[in-house]
Amino acid sequence: MLIACLHTAASNIALFDAAAHSLPRAPVTLNHIVMPQLLSEAEASGGMTQAQQQHIERLLHSLTPWFDAILITCSTIGAVADGFSAPDSGCRVYRTDRMLADHLHQLSGPSRVLCAAPSTLNATRALFCPASLPAERQPDIHLVPDAWDAFKAGELARYYALIRAAVQQGLEQGAKQVALAQVSMAAAIDEKGGDSSVLTIPLLALQALLRR
C-alpha cells in the first residue's frame, strides 16, 4: 500500500517511519510531504479559514492519483479530510487524530486526551467529544501548559518532559487511558514499553488504515 503522509512538522517523519517498520512484513510504503506553512498560516488566522481549507483540498486532489491513501497528520488542518472526496480516484484521505479518537471511543473507563498546540484545542474537543457519545464516556480534554512554546523553541527535552508529566498526572487522577492527540507528542513515550494506558497516533493510524 502506497501512502502519502501530509505533515506540518518534519519531526513526524521519523515517528511514522518507526511505526511502519514495526508492522509485520512492513506492508506499507510511506511518502512524506512536509508543509509547515499550512500550520503557520492556520495559527496566524486563529484557526483554519475557508480559503486555507480550499487550498489544502486542491493540494489533495493533485495527490490522489498517485497514492492508495493520504494521511493528514496535523490536527490543526486535519478537518479537511472530513468532507473531502475524490470520486475519480480510489485514494482515501484520513485525518490521523480521528483514527485515534475512533480507537479511544471503543475503550471503557475514564479517558483523558492531551493536546499541546492551543490551535488544536477546539478541533480536538469536537473530535473526541461528539454529541453522539454518551456523557459518561466523554473524555476529559486537557491542554499541556507551555508545551507548544517549548516545541516551537526547539526545546524538545522540555516538551517531552511536560507531556510525560501530564500523562502521569492524568493516570494519577483516575484516567484509565490517556490519549496524545498530536503526532509530535508520541516521541515523549516509549512505545516499546508496551504501556497500553497511553495511546499515540502513528502506529494506531497505520493499523487502522490496514484494517479498512
CB 70 within 8 A of CB 64: yes
Query: What is the mean pLDDT of the segment spanning 58-82?
Result: 94
* pTM score of the predicted model: 0.89
pLDDT at 194 over 60: no
pLDDT at 26: 64
Q: Where are the alpha helices (DSSP H) in the chain?
A: 12-21, 36-44, 50-63, 96-105, 121-128, 147-152, 156-172, 201-211
Task: Write the single-letter amino acid at 108.
Answer: S
Contacts of 174 (CB under 8 A, 6+ apart): 110
pLDDT in tens, 156-188: 999 999 999 999 999 999 999 999 999 999 999
If you search the block for the grid coordinates 497516533, which residue do you land on? 201
Over residues 73-105, the pLDDT tens digits come to 998 899 899 988 877 778 999 999 999 999 999
Residues with Cβ within 8 Å of 85's Cβ and at least 6 positions away in sequence, in order, are none
Judged against a pLDDT cut of 90, whether residue 196 lies above it is answered with no
Query: What is the per-residue pLDDT for 170?
Result: 96
Angle at 102 between CA 96 and CA 104, to 5 degrees: 105
Per-residue pLDDT at 192: 54
| pLDDT beyond 80 at 154 | yes
Extract the C-alpha cell encoding 20.
511502519
Q: Which amino acid is at 21?
A: H
